[in-house]
Amino acid sequence: MTAEGKAGRPDLGALRIDESQRGTGGGPRLKRWLWVVLVLVAVAVGALVTLGGRPPEVKVASARAAGGRAAALLNASGYVTPRVRATVAAKITGRVVEVLVDEGMRVEAGQVLARLDESDVRARLVAAIAERDAAEAAIADLEVNLANAERELERQEDLERDGGSSVQALDAARTLAHSLEARLTLGRRQVASAEAAIGIARQDLANCVVRAPFAGVAVSKDAQVGEMVSPVSAGGGFTRTGISTIVDMTSLEIEVDVNEAYIARVQPGQKVEATLDAYPDWKIPASVRTVIPTADRQKATVKVRISFGALDPRILPDMGVKVAFLAAEQAGEAPVAAALIPRAAVQQDGGRPVVFRLREGTVERRAVTLGVLRADEVEVLAGVAAGDRLVVDGPVGLRDGQRVRVR
C-alpha cells in the first residue's frame, strides 16, 4: 500500500482514551461517598467521646440494720385469732325485747347483754306453783283420812280378837289404810314433781336474761329487738342463733399453716418475729406456743399457734400476719446478720455473690456472704454494713472504680 493510501484512511488511534484522563468522569460520585464515610466516622467518634465522658446512671438503695436478730429458718403467713371467742346465744327460744350491747363495747363477766320476752315463761311458773299447792292440799286431806283409817283398823283388830268382828271387816279396814298410805306417798311425789317444774320454770325465767360468759369486747351484734332467737337453727333461717360475739382480747395469738416438709424446723418455745400486714414496719416479738399434733391431708400443712410477747391495742382479731421463725441462739450456730439488703443489689461474678457499693460517685465491687432470704430482701453476714448505698439497677458491665450518676 502507498503512502497516499495510508494518508487517506481515518486514524483510529486517535479514539484511544488517555490513561491520564481515565476516571475523571466519576469524580463527583466518589466525593459524595467520601463525605458519607467521613460523617459516619465523625458521629461514631462523637458518640464514643460523649459516652466516655458522661458517667452511666444507676439506682441505689441503702442497706438497713438487721437488728442483731438470729437468722430466720422459715417464713409463713397466717391470721391473728383469739383462743377465747364465743357467740353468745339464748338457752331458750324467745323474742328479743332488749339488746344492751353494741360493737366495740367492753363487757364484764355476767354483764346483761339482752333480755327476752318472759311472759310465757312466767305463766308456766305460775301454773307449776299452782300444781304444787294443789298437791300439798291433797296430801293434807290424805293424812287426815289415813289417820282415821288406822284407828278403824285398830278397832277391827281388837274386835276380831274378842270375836266381835268378822274377818271381812278386818280386811276391809286394813285395805283402806294401806290404800290411803299409797295415795299419800303418791301425793308427796306429786308435790316433788311440782317443785321440779317450778325449778325449771324459774330457770327458764332466768334464761330470758342473756349474760356475758367472760370479760371481753363485743365484736358483733347479731340480733335486734323484735327478732326471735333460739339455741338451734329453726324457722327456715328467720330465727337468730346468737345475740353477740364476744372476744377475750387478752387471748389473742397467731395461727399459721406450715408446710409439713418444714415442720421439723419449728419447736415449742421458739422465737418468732411477727409482722402485721397493716403495720409492715412494726416487728413484733413472739414465740411458738404449740404445734397442733395433726396434719391437713388436703393442704399438707400443720397448724402452729404463736403467742405474742406483749399485746397491743393495734392487734385485732383476724388481721393478716407474716411470721419468721428464728434460729435458736446457740454458740457457734445461727450467725447474726450484719445487714439486710435488696435482692436486686446482689450480682453473680464467677459463681460468687457481689455487690457494688457507691462511694463519692464511684462504685466499689465487694464480695459478700449471704444469709437467709426474707421476701424481697436477703441477709448479709459479711461484706456490707448498715447504711451502705448499693447499686440495685445499673448498666451491664459495671466495673470496679467506675464513676456513675445516681438516677
| Mean of all residue pLDDT scores within the chain | 82
pLDDT tens digits along 284-338: 999 999 999 999 999 999 999 999 999 999 999 999 999 999 876 433 455 667 7
As a whole number of angstroms, the distance between CA 83 and CA 314 comes to: 18
- Which listed CATH number (3.40.50.150, 2.40.50.100, 2.40.30.20, 3.40.50.450) goes with 87-117+209-247? 2.40.50.100
Question: What grid cell was written down for 155?
Answer: 278397832
Under 8 Å between Cβ of 75 and 265: no
Q: How many C-beta atoms lie closer than 10 Å to residue 185's C-beta?
A: 12
Amino acid at 309: G
CATH for 57-68+335-406? 2.40.420.20
The DSSP 8-state label assigned to residue 239 in this structure reads S
What pLDDT was estimated at residue 48? 52
The pTM score is 0.53
d(CA 377, CA 275): 15
Give the gyration radius of the chain's Cα atoms: 51
Q: Which residues are within 8 A (CB) of 334 and not within 5 positions of it... i.e. 6 or more apart? A: 70, 71, 326, 327, 328
What grid cell was written down for 42?
465523625
Opening angle at CA 393, ends 388 and 394, nearest 5: 105
Tell me the CATH number for domain 72-82+250-326: 2.40.30.170
For a pLDDT cut of 70, what percent of the chain falls above it? 83
pLDDT at 106: 94
Do the two domains 57-68+335-406 and 87-117+209-247 of this chain adopt the same fold? no
Parallel, antiparallel, or unpaired for β 283-296 and 209-211? unpaired
What stretch of H or E contains 174?
helix 167-207
Return the domain boundaries, the chain.
57-68+335-406, 72-82+250-326, 87-117+209-247, 119-205
Number of other residues whose CB lies within 10 A of the CB of residue 375 = 10
Averaged pLDDT in 10-residue chunks for the chain of 407 residues: 46 50 53 72 55 75 72 84 92 91 92 92 91 86 83 79 75 84 87 91 91 93 89 66 91 94 90 92 92 92 94 93 77 63 87 89 89 76 88 86 86
Q: Can you give the pLDDT at residue 361?
A: 86
Q: Return the sign of the alpha-carbon dihedral for residues 373, 379, 382, 384.
A: positive
